[in-house]
A and B are shown apart, each in its own frame.
Chain A
Amino acid sequence: MNIIVCVKQVPDVEGKVVVEKGVISISALVPGDVMNSLDLVALEEALSLRGKAGGRVTVLSLGKTAAEESLRRSLAMGADEVVLLSDAAFENLDSFGTALVLAKTIASQPHDVILCGQKADDTQSGMTGVCLAQILGLPVVRNVVRVELQKDKLRLNRKLEKGNREVVECPLPALLTVEAGETKPRHTTIRGVLRARKEPIRKLSAQELGLAPEDLGKTVKVRVLNITPPKPKMKGLFVPDSKMSSAAKMTAIMGGGLVQKKSNILEGDPEKIAQQVAQFLKKEKLIQG
């Protein structure tokens, strides 16, 4: 079975993120970019699928030379082959452009299952996998948290809301985008790391893939206008304050309940408080039947 995993090297979002004048700076514990967290899960699924069905795992990454880091990690985890897609023309591509480059690479080699992380930690877009499947004409299943091979098809668990799962069956070849679930990526081994250091990394440029830079430029569908600090967390929910007059409470509720909260502490009769809180939770749709 030929398994292909597409990975992205991203800034370490676990670090401290500061946004100033539209520029992002990230100070992580260990400086430098890391492999996208969901791509690690995708690679794990690929490696365990190979463990059961045999075959080869090839990891592709599109990026600058620094993306070698993720590819070496993939080798250390057990990938058979890695390919770096690197070219000045590949910079500033969005999902469509990235998918086009990946598709060009994949189309020329045998592939049964293609795995991608559902979304990148940095852009949080989640489109590249589906674009790739569209170009290659493959069926795609998103939100995959469990992969099981059954003869000539895959049986997959998809993660839905509220802990629900949907079970689907999909013929091969197929593309899966992987979500965070029960699968935890394996650690690298010392032997793997030593091997990864020696292994050559195949590089492909736009020209080698037969892609013209001007064609790639045309694919950009989304532009980023500005980067700002995150939207502040919802605070200042309206809390019925027992000290308010009835009229004030009425105005507050009718006005959308936007009285600012000064962390007023509700105290007194538990029954009364409980009733107020219950009504409040229901109105804010925080509880639903």
Chain B
Amino acid sequence: MGNIPEKSVWALLEQQDGKLGDGSLELAGEAARLALKLKTEAIAVVLGNLPADQVSLLAQHGAKKIVIIDHPALSEPSVEVRASLLAALIKAHSPEIVLAIDSVSGSDLAVRIATQLNTGLVTACDRVDTNPEGVLVDTKPVYAGKAAAMCATSGAKPQMATVNLDALDLKTPNPKNTAEVITLTPEFQPPSARVRKVGFIKGDPKSIPLTEAEIVVCAGMGITAKENLKLVEDLANAIGGSVAATRRVVDEGWVGLPRQVGLTGKTVRPRLYIACGVSGAIQHTLGMKDSRAIIAVNIDKNAPIFKIADVAILGDVLKVLPALTAHLKQALAQVQKPTVGNVLNAAASLKAK
């Protein structure tokens, strides 16, 4: 295929029901950055048809060429089939670098492709870059995240890496950017799937294991009475979070033991942890300090939780929580995409205050 140059940088993107997976725009941006360094082209490779709005979003975030793979075999949601299809495509077009997102499905795909192609893959990277020789150098957490390793693949092509969602930054979109869209239907007939999907169980934030929750809203003794737990639950429900509690709240019998966070409870590291009326005793913080972002609401200015909080709100939980719930609901109801316009609006609303 003439219009897919060899030695390019590919970003493998997945979509569901016409919507690109989390981190897709960011990964397309990463591929564009590496391609610029290697003086080659970045190609966003998407499995299955993509609606025009998603195509234009990709373009705005730096994708100059979008390859949409259209194949009858893709109607079945099988990672085996998708991996064989992509492996064949990679063989045919010899990209220099292939990136994927380190989500459950993204890493599943990448690992299978790398083993089929017998090429090097560094998984779960926090940083990908190229050195002056054009070798992909990846930095990834090792030893349970207590150290970082700088790795390089050795010789085999393409050089592959999966990038952690947390490590990807969204670049400022340029609304003027456009992309060339190539729809490909590979002649390759992938082997039929041996593993079949037979069901899906949606996780309810109210009942999923706390360790798998993306957002945890934790009640501390600051809520003062069992009735006020409702405020914590309301906040959790508004943002799809799971309710947790400190040991004392569990001891009071307000919340069940499986929801306890801390030394004698669960250790969690969600994307967002909201501590409501939690003082932050070491027994508790040991179980949540590695959360990506911590917001603490407390009435005591010297509460130790404020030392590890990214956002510290000094105030009465019983007053702050309802306000927070209302404003979070409002913020979520607004347009989702962080565009320049949205940021300007946010700035304007701050200015108005």
Contacts and interface: CB of A to CB of B under 8 A. Distances in A.
Interface of A: 11, 13-14, 17, 19, 24, 26, 96, 119, 121-127, 130-131, 134, 139-143, 155, 157-171, 174, 180-182, 220-231, 233-235, 237, 239-240, 242, 246, 249-250, 253-254, 261, 263-267, 270-289
B56 interface: no
Interface stretch (B45-53, B140-148, B220-228): B140-148
B108 A275 contact: no
B313 A286 contact: no
Contacts of B307: 263
B323 A271 contact: yes
Contacts of A271: 323, 327
B43 interface: no
Contact of A134 (B116, B208, B211): B116
Interface stretch (B64-72, B149-157, B177-185): B149-157
B111 interface: yes
Given A13-B143, A167-B199, A263-B307, 7 more contacts: A130-B115, A174-B195, A222-B122, A229-B148, A237-B311, A240-B350, A275-B349
A261 B323 contact: no
A228 B137 CA distance: 14
A225 B147 contact: no
A265 B297 CA distance: 10
10 contacts: A121-B144, A162-B212, A165-B200, A170-B196, A180-B211, A227-B148, A228-B149, A233-B290, A270-B315, A281-B331
A274 B326 contact: yes
Contacts of A171: 194
Contacts of A130: 111-112, 115
Nearest to B145: A230
Contacts of A275: 327, 349, 353
Contacts of A123: 142, 149
B196 A234 contact: no
B194 A286 contact: no
A267 B314 contact: yes
A122 B112 contact: no
B214 A162 contact: yes
Contacts of B346: 253, 279, 283
Contacts of A26: 143
B200 A166 contact: yes
A37 to B, nearest CB: 9
A19 B328 contact: no
Contacts of A124: 123-124, 140-145
Contacts of A220: 154
Interface in B123-182: 123-124, 126-127, 137, 139-154, 156, 166, 170
B200 A167 contact: yes
A157 B124 CA distance: 23
A274 B330 CA distance: 11
Contacts of A161: 103-104, 214
A289 B312 contact: no
A161 B240 CA distance: 13
B332 interface: yes
A215 to B, nearest CB: 13
A122 B120 CA distance: 18
Contacts of A19: 147
Nearest to B301: A265
B134 to A, nearest CB: 15
A11 B320 CA distance: 45
B114 A127 contact: yes
B147 A139 contact: no
Given A123-B142, A164-B201, A280 B311 contact: yes
B201 A165 contact: yes
Given A168-B198, A233-B290, A273-B323, A287 B152 contact: no
A249 B336 CA distance: 22
A225 to B, nearest CB: 4
Nearest to A132: B115
B10 interface: no
A250 B108 CA distance: 42
A246 B350 contact: yes
B118 interface: yes
B39 interface: no
A267 B306 CA distance: 13
B146 A230 contact: yes
B22 to A, nearest CB: 8
A234 B293 contact: yes
Pairs A-B, 8 closest by C-beta atoms: A163-B203, A163-B208, A167-B199, A221-B120, A17-B146, A274-B323, A278-B327, A13-B144
A242 B257 CA distance: 39
Given A127-B115, A222-B120, A17 B199 contact: no
B290 A163 contact: no
A14 to B, nearest CB: 8
Nearest to A122: B143
Contacts of B301: 265
B272 interface: yes
Given A13-B144, A253-B343, A278 B331 contact: yes
Contact of A263 (B196, B309, B336): B309
Nearest to B23: A285
A122 B147 CA distance: 9
B230 interface: no
A231 B347 contact: no
Given A163-B213, A168-B195, A143 B104 contact: yes
Interface in B247-262: none
